[in-house]
């Protein structure tokens, strides 16, 4: 059955995912929570995560805490939806975002993933096969913790970003200082050390220093900058949502 499903055309698979999501969301209908991504109220958000987090998953669109915060930032603090033509690179596109961004940006919206067939282009962010200054906007969330040479990936993002453009490069911040050990390749040991068997490091607040070393100016936005405590509770913006790191090219 899995082989049959995997062989289906992507539009059909997307329709099946939407149908499954519609049915799964029925028990969550109600008020008390509101998702800024799909703009749909819910009785509550669902529990989600390797370490289960309450109030995490919107059952209508699949947005997690970090997605809801990022979308709020995109709407409130950027020019992404001003109607002007833009070329956007979206790495490992989230299912909650992709159809909405494609509708807003049209042909200028370029999705990318390391695995062929999962996005518009196959891309290794350590070696982006695009000319300099190719994109007005780059969005990459929770990818760099999987990348062996994350600093090279950051420099590549800086290279393909246009002057005057901006990038949002998000990672989980889970320790006081970034910790990595490239000799660790065993999945079980990676799970123990880095929190997930396909992670190669844990990031601390010094992640921002790496972005700056790559040539970015970085501005950090927190939940309290975008929503009141009451609004944050209604949107399920718990500390698991993290922070937004907006990157622009240093003058």
pLDDT digits (tens, 9 = 90+) for 158-216: 999 999 999 999 999 999 999 999 999 999 999 999 999 999 999 999 999 999 999 99
The phi, psi pair for 8, rounded to 5°, reads: -70, 150
Please work out, in degrees rounded to the nearest 5, the angle formed at the alpha carbon of residue 248 by the alpha carbons of 244 and 251. 145
**Computed over its alpha carbons, how large is the radius of gyration of the chain?**
18
Domain 64-249 - what CATH class?
alpha beta
> What CA–CA distances, in Å, run from 91 to 62, 141, 206, 225, 231?
17, 8, 22, 26, 29
Q: In the structure, what pLDDT confidence band is assigned to residue 109 with cuts at 50, 70 and 90?
A: very high
Supply the pLDDT for residue 22. 64
pLDDT digits (tens, 9 = 90+) for 39-72: 999 989 999 988 899 999 999 999 999 999 999 9
Are 204 and 178 in contact, with CB atoms under 8 Å apart?
yes
Ranges 11-25, 136-150, 202-216: which has the least confidence = 11-25
pLDDT at 9 over 80: no
Q: Model's pTM, two decimal places?
A: 0.88
Supply the pLDDT for residue 27. 72
Please work out, in degrees rounded to the nearest 5, the angle formed at the alpha carbon of residue 48 by the alpha carbons of 172 and 237. 60
Write the DSSP string, 181-242: -TT---HHHHHHHHSSTT--EEB-TTHHHHHHHTTEEEEEE-HHHH--HHHHHHTT--GGG-
Are 96 and 63 in contact, with CB atoms under 8 Å apart?
yes
Segments making up each domain of the chain, as ranges: 64-249
Supply the pLDDT for residue 23. 67
């Amino acid at each position: 059955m899995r082989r049959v499903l995997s062989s289906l055309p992507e539009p059909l698979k997307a329709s099946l995912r939407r149908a499954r999501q519609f049915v799964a969301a029925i028990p969550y209908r109600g008020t008390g929570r509101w998702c800024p991504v799909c703009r749909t109220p819910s009785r509550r958000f669902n529990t989600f995560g390797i370490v289960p987090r309450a109030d995490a998953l919107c059952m209508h669109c699949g947005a997690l805490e970090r997605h809801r915060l990022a979308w709020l930032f995109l709407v409130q603090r950027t020019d992404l939806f001003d109607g002007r033509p833009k070329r956007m690179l979206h790495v490992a596109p989230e299912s909650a975002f992709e159809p909405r961004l494609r509708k807003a940006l049209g042909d200028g919206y370029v999705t990318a993933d390391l695995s062929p067939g999962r996005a518009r282009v196959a891309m290794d962010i350590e070696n982006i096969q695009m000319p300099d200054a190719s994109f007005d906007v780059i969005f990459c969330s929770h990818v760099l913790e999987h990348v062996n040479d994350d600093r090279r990936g950051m420099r590549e993002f800086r290279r393909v970003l246009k002057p005057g453009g901006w990038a949002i490069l998000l990672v989980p911040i889970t320790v006081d200082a970034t910790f990595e050990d490239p000799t660790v390749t065993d999945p079980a040991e990676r799970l123990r050390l880095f929190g997930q068997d396909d992670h190669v490091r844990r990031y601390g607040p010094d992640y921002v220093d790496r972005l700056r070393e790559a040539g970015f100016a970085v501005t950090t936005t927190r939940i309290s900058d975008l929503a009141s405590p009451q609004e944050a509770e209604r949107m399920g913006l718990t500390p698991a949502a993290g922070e937004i790191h907006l990157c622009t090219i240093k003058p």
